[in-house]
Chains A and B, each alone.
Chain A
C-alpha cells in the first residue's frame, strides 16, 4: 500500500493551517513528520484520518483517490490514527470497549473478539489486562489498547500524533519496537513529533513542516542541525534578559505543608524577592499545582506560614490573597481563567476589582476594552466571546486582565501550546512585569523556558522539592534527571 497526498489545503478563517501540502509515503516505511507546534502537522493528520475534510486536494491509496468524510471512512479505507490526548475509553472493561467498536452484526462475538485481541496483544508483547476496567490503564497501556484496536479494525496506515507524551521509558521502547515490526510487515507508519531525538531514533524518512507548508524532506540520517534549521527557519534571538536587581522579600514560606487530594506536599523554607523569577519543574502531578494553589490560598495550607511582603496570609481566603497583591493564572485558560460566552469587554469589567459601581457604563467599558486590546495586541474585538480567541490570544487577554499593581504572580505553563511568536510575546510581558518589581513563580514542562527565564528553579518529584537550583549553574540534563527522581549523586555517570 502506498499513500499519496496532493496539494492539500485546509484553512481556518484566515489561518492557512495546510497550504498546499504534498506528501508521498511508500509501503513499509516509517515516516516522520517533524515541525514546531503550530506548523500544521496535526491538521494534516486529521485531514488524513477523516476528522477534517480538506478544502481542496486529493488523497490516494495505492493510486486510487479516496474520499475521507469521517474517521469511520478512514478506518474502512485502512487509515487509523492514534491521537495524542489520553484516549477516550468508556468506563467498562477493555474487552467491552473493543466490542463496542466491532463492525457490523448485532450479535456480539465476545469469544472470537477476545481471541483475536489477545493474539494481537501477545504478538507485540503488550501487557494490558483484557478484563481490567479501562480507567485503571496507564496512558501507555491505553495507547497499546488503541494500537491493537486499529490493527484489529484492519488499519494499513497507522498515524501516531506525539505518541510518547506521558508514557514510561519501557512503554516507549516497546512502542518503537512495535512500530518497527509493523513497518517491516509492509504497513505505513507515520510518526508525528516535534521531538528531534525521537524522529532521529525511529524514522527512515522525514518531512519537515513549517507554517502550513512542507519545507524539507530528507532520508535519515541527517545532521540534527539541518533539521533544526528547517523546523525553525533562521535561529531566533532569545530576548536577552537585562539584569534586574532584586528587591525586598516578596514572599516567604516557612515550614509549609500543603494537602491536596492524595498528595501531601512539604515545602522547604523559601524566600522570594521582588523581581525574582522562580521556575517550578517536575512531571505533571508532582505537586507543582498544589504548591502554587497553596501559596495563593486555593488549597489548604496545613501547617507553617505564608507571608506576602511581610503580611501573614496563611489560611486567609483566596480573595484576601488577591487583595494582598498576588494573582494566579491557571493552566486551563478557557476552563479556569476565562468565561465562555462572555465578551472581552465583559471580562475586563469583571477583572477590574477596583470599580464597584452598580451600573455598568457600557461605552466606558467598550473604550477600556479597545484600549487593552490595542495595548496587548489581542486579535479580537471588544465584543468577541472568549472562546472565539485562539490560545495565544486567550493568554494575552488573561495577562491584560491582571491588575496593574502586582507583588507576586503565580502562573502555570505560561506558553504551553503557543506558537513561538506568542510565547515570546508572553515573556516580554512577564519580564516587563518583573522589571516593575513583580516576583514571578511559574510552573512549566518546557526545560528551555525554565532555564532561560528563571533565576532559581525548584524541581518537584512526587510531592517533594527535590532540589533548588541556580538557573545559571545548571543545565537541561541535570534538571531532566532530577525530574525523573534521580538526585545529583546518583545521576553522575550512571544515568542514561
Chain B
C-alpha cells in the first residue's frame, strides 16, 4: 500500500520502467494471437477500430471509462486508508439498484429525476460500503471477506428484483427489467450513449479525490491511518471514523458509477449491472501505483481494450477474452516491476541499518498492548 514513486530513478528510466509492462503485455498477447494462427497486428488494429473507430464506438468506450474511473477514484481513497475494498462491486450494484428505484417509482421532469437517480445511487453505494466498514470496525471482520460476501448478496438482490418485484409483466426473464421511462435516461449526444454530464461529473470527482489526498488535512489523516493505524490513533486521530469515512467516499463514487451504468448505459437494471468495473478498478489503481493522477489515462486504456476486443470475435478467430488477458498480464507485469523496484530499494536500504548513529544492540521494543 505504500507504493511510492521511485525517487531514485531518473525521469527517463522511470518512464521506461513504466512503459515496459505495456510492451510485455502486448508481446504476450501477440504470441497468443499467433498461436491461434491469426495476425496480431490485425488484432490490435481491430481493437483500436472497435473502440475508437466510430462515434458510436467512441461513445461506448467513454461510457465504459466513466464507471471504471469513478470506481477507481473511490478505491484510491480506500487504499489510502489501508483498506482492500473488495466490496466495491457490490457498491456499484447497489448504486444501480438505488437509481433504478427512483427511475421506476418516481415520475418527475428530467431535471429533477436525473439528479435524484444519481443521488440515490450514491446513497445506496454509501450504505453498502458502510456495512462493510461497520463489519470491520465493530465486528472485526476483515474488509476483504466482508466485502466479498456483500458482493454476492448484492448480485443476489439484483436477480431477485429482476425476476421478482421488478419482473417484466408476463415474462420470466433474467435479461433485465423494463427499460426506464426516457425521462430518467441520462441525456446523451445524438443517437449515442455519450453523456456529457457523466463525463463532466467524473472529471470533477477525480480532481476532487486528487485534491483530497494531496492537499487536505482529511486526506493526510486518511493516509496516516492507512500506513500506521497505531501511530495515527496515538496522535489522536479517531481511526475508526476515518476508516468509515474512506468507505463512505468510495461507496458514493462507486454507487454513482452504478447509477450511471443503469441510467446512462443499459437504461434498465440487468443482472451483471456492475460490468466487473469494480474489480477492474482495483487493477487500474494497482497499475496507477495508488496515485489518483494516473487513474483517468489508465482507465481509458482499459476501456479501449475492453470495448475493442468485443470486435475480435466477429472478425477474427480470436475470442474477446484476449482483452481481459492483455489487461491481466499488464497488471501482473506492472506489479512485478514495482515489486522488483521496491525489492532493490529495500536491498539498498538493508545496507543501511535503521539507526545509523546507533548500534543495532537495541532491544526490540515491547509490542505488548492492544491497539
Contact = CB atoms under 8 A, between A and B. Distances in A.
A362 interface: yes
Nearest to B368: A289
B362 A358 contact: no
B231 A337 contact: yes
Nearest to A321: B236
B362 to A, nearest CB: 3
A399 B368 CA distance: 22
A68 to B, nearest CB: 15
Interface string A343-377: 00010011101011111101000000000000000
B39 interface: no
Contact of A260 (B223, B232, B233, B369): B369
Interface string B192-230: 000000000000000000000001111011011001101
Contact of B224 (A46, A319, A339, A419): A339
A114 to B, nearest CB: 31
A338 B217 contact: no
Contacts of A391: 354-355, 357-358, 362
Interface stretch (A169-177, A326-334, A450-458): A326-334
Contact of A335 (B221, B230, B236, B360): B230
Interface stretch (A1-9, A34-42, A126-134, A269-277): A34-42
Contacts of A337: 231, 234
B356 interface: yes
- Interface of A: prevailing SS: loop
Contacts of A318: 233-234, 236
Contact of B361 (A162, A340, A356, A422): A162
B227 A336 contact: no
A261 B233 CA distance: 20
A43 B228 CA distance: 29
Interface stretch (A10-18, A97-105, A146-154, A243-251): A10-18
A298 B230 CA distance: 11
A346 B362 contact: no
A17 B234 contact: no
A133 B10 CA distance: 49
Given A12-B351, A331-B365, A40 B217 contact: no
B216 A419 contact: no
Interface stretch (A221-229, A233-241, A307-315, A410-418): A410-418
Contacts, number: 162
Interface string B344-362: 0000000111111111111
DSSP majority for the B interface?
loop
A387 B4 CA distance: 14
Contact of A330 (B234, B357, B360): B234
A96 interface: no
A52 interface: yes
Contact of A360 (B4, B217, B233, B359): B217
B209 to A, nearest CB: 15
A280 interface: no
A478 interface: no
B363 A43 contact: no
30 contacts: A15-B357, A17-B353, A17-B359, A37-B358, A37-B359, A38-B357, A38-B358, A39-B359, A42-B361, A86-B364, A165-B363, A194-B361, A285-B366, A289-B368, A298-B234, A331-B365, A337-B234, A339-B228, A339-B232, A340-B227, A340-B228, A341-B4, A341-B227, A342-B223, A346-B220, A349-B217, A362-B215, A391-B362, A392-B355, A392-B357
Interface of B: 2, 4, 215-218, 220-221, 223-224, 227-228, 230-238, 351-370
* Interchain residue pairs A-B with the least CB separation, the first 7: A417-B362, A391-B355, A331-B365, A332-B365, A12-B356, A15-B356, A42-B359
